Amino acid sequence: MIARLMVLAMAVFLVAFLVTPESFAGLFRPLTRNNAPAIYTQTGLLSLTLSHLWLVALAVTASTVTAVGLGVLVTRPAGREFLPLARTVTSVGQTFPPVAVLALAVPAMGFGAGPTLVALFLYGLLPIFENTLTALSTLPPSVVEAARGMGLTRRQQLWQVELPLALPVILAGVRLSTVISLATATIGSTVAARTLGEVIIAGLLSANTAFVVQGGLIVGLIAILIYEGFQLAEKAAARRIGLAPQH
């Protein structure tokens, strides 16, 4: 109960700060020097936050569709031989730092959101793929055999039995990918993407600690809220298949 109240308090504070950041100027003024502004106003914090979340949502959605699709493919009899290739592809984002991906993508795509989306997409593949692979490869054989005994086709078995059973583990991978992407997206501002990294970079360039703290605080609070939200979704999925106690 206490944990839920704390999460609720974080959510209320975050919304209040994004809607009326000027009201919190007194909180950040001790972090400024030489009468520098306490609140970043060059671009609205709410607008930057929504743009940041939109980029992350697009990238994670694309990563999820791709990684789950690859996980399903390599766990089918006809696709098992592609497992090494799939692992290589999904590991690319973890092999090359996002900054390197941005540097390679900018000449081809130009400045803006495009290179950031590519970097986040590649960076988010591996956790989702590995969790999907683990979940689908460790299903109880008795359940799979029962599905076959019921006369389900392979497609029906996948959609009605395998994926629902694997969903909690897959969601855990999506949770990890989302939190990583949320933090990593801040570097997108170095290539002119509209993210909360703009606030942090502005603070670093002007030696204004208040801006740096604001950008980091917003990203941190959103990460906690998203993490908790995914955990609730994982528990709900686990309860649905009887792997967690009903409340």
CATH of the domain at 222: 1.10.3720.10
User: Average pLDDT of 78-100?
Assistant: 86
Query: Which residues does 45 contact at the CB level (< 8 Å), separation at least 6?
Result: 17, 18, 21, 39, 199, 214, 218
Give the total number of structural domains in the chain. 1
20: in domain: no
- Torsion angle of C-alpha atoms 75, 76, 77, 79, degrees rounded to 10: -80
72: in domain: yes
Query: Which residues does 160 contact at the CB level (< 8 Å), separation at least 6?
Result: 147, 152
Could you give the CA distance from residue 230 to residue 175 in angstroms, rounded to a whole number?
6
Q: Which residue is it, tokens 């704390």?
A: 6
Q: Cβ of 151: how many Cβ atoms within 10 Å?
A: 8
Out of 105-109, 127-131, 175-179, least confident range: 105-109
207: in domain: yes
Provide the pLDDT for residue 245. 52
Share of the chain above pLDDT 90, in %: 62
Q: Which two tokens stand for residue 88?
A: 């290589």
Q: Which domain holds residue 80?
A: 44-240
Output phi, psi for 96, to 5 deg.
Answer: -100, 125
User: Average pLDDT of 181-205?
Assistant: 91
- Confidence class for position 246, pLDDT limits 50, 70, 90: low
Residue 5's alpha-carbon distances to 1, 61, 138, in angstroms, are 6, 29, 36
10: in domain: no
Provide the pLDDT for residue 199. 94
122: in domain: yes
Query: Which residues does 132 contact at the CB level (< 8 Å), separation at least 6?
Result: 67, 68, 70, 71, 72, 166, 169, 170, 173
Q: Is the pLDDT of residue 247 over 70?
A: no
User: Average pLDDT of 153-161?
Assistant: 85
Q: Which two tokens stand for residue 74?
A: 């390599």
Residue bearing the bigger pLDDT, 97 or 36: 36
The contacts found for 96-105 with CB under 8 angstroms, 24 or more apart, are: 96/122, 98/123, 98/184, 98/187, 99/187, 99/190, 102/187, 102/188, 102/190, 102/191
Q: Which residue is it, tokens 């999907």?
A: 132
18: in domain: no
User: Average pLDDT of 160-181?
Assistant: 93
- Confidence class for position 3, pLDDT limits 50, 70, 90: confident
Size of the chain in residues: 247
Provide the pLDDT for residue 221. 95
- Confidence class for position 37, pLDDT limits 50, 70, 90: very high
37: in domain: no
User: Average pLDDT of 32-50?
Assistant: 92
Amino acid at the residue 79: G
- Confidence class for position 69, pLDDT limits 50, 70, 90: very high
Could you give the CA distance from residue 132 to residue 130 in angstroms, rounded to a whole number?
5
128: in domain: yes
Provide the pLDDT for residue 243. 65
Provide the pLDDT for residue 29. 93
- Confidence class for position 107, pLDDT limits 50, 70, 90: confident
- Confidence class for position 55, pLDDT limits 50, 70, 90: very high
Amino acid at the residue 37: P
